[in-house]
Amino acid sequence: MPAASVDDYLAGLPDASRTALEDVRATLRAAVPDGVETISYGMPTVKLGGRMLLSYAAFAKHCSLFPASGDVMAALGEELAPYFAEKATLRFSPTAPIPRDLLERVVAVRVTEVAS
C-alpha cells in the first residue's frame, strides 16, 4: 500500500535511505518554503503553484531525484554527470548524496522553469 504522506514514506525506509532523503527534504523546504509536499506516483513530491517541482525516492540500492526537466540537465550538466541516470533522473547512493549546494541549484532551475 502506498504511503499516505511524506512522513509515512520516510518512516518506512532503511536508516541510510531515510537519512539521505530527510536531507533532501530539508533542503527542499529551505529552498522552496512555498512548496507543497504530497505523494505522487508513490513518491514524495514537491509542488509549486500547483505544478510538480520535483520528486524523490529510495530504491533497493540507490536513491533518485526526479527534477523532470531537461532544463536542469542543460543548466548543470557537467556537475550532474556523476549522478545522471537517464533523461532527467539523478541517482545517488544514500551514503554519497548529491551535495546540498548542487541540489539547491537544481531546485533554483526548476523554480525558474515552473514560474515561467
What are the boundaries of each domain within the chain?
6-115
| Numbers of helices and strands, H then E, in the chain | 4, 6
Residue 13's pLDDT is 96
Question: Quick one: pLDDT band at residue 1, thresholds 50, 70, 90?
Answer: low
Whether 47 has a pLDDT exceeding 70, the answer reads: yes
Q: Three-state DSSP class for 49?
A: coil
Higher-confidence residue of 87 and 53: namely: 53
Span 58-105, pLDDT tens digits: 999 999 999 878 889 889 989 999 998 887 899 999 999 999 999 999
C-alpha distances (whole Å) from 80 to each of 23, 33, 42, 70, 89 are: 18, 24, 25, 12, 10
Whether 114 has a pLDDT exceeding 70, the answer reads: yes
The CATH architecture of the domain made up of 6-115 is Alpha-Beta Complex (3.90)
Q: How many CA atoms lie within 13 A of 115 on its CB side?
A: 9
Taking alpha carbons only, the member of 15, 20, 10 closest to residue 93 is 20
Q: Which range (7-16, 78-87, 102-111) has the least confidence?
A: 78-87
- What's the whole-model pTM score? 0.93
Q: Decide: 90 and 110 in contact? Cβ < 8 Å.
A: no
Q: Decide: 93 and 62 in contact? Cβ < 8 Å.
A: yes
Q: What is the mean pLDDT of residues 5-11?
A: 96
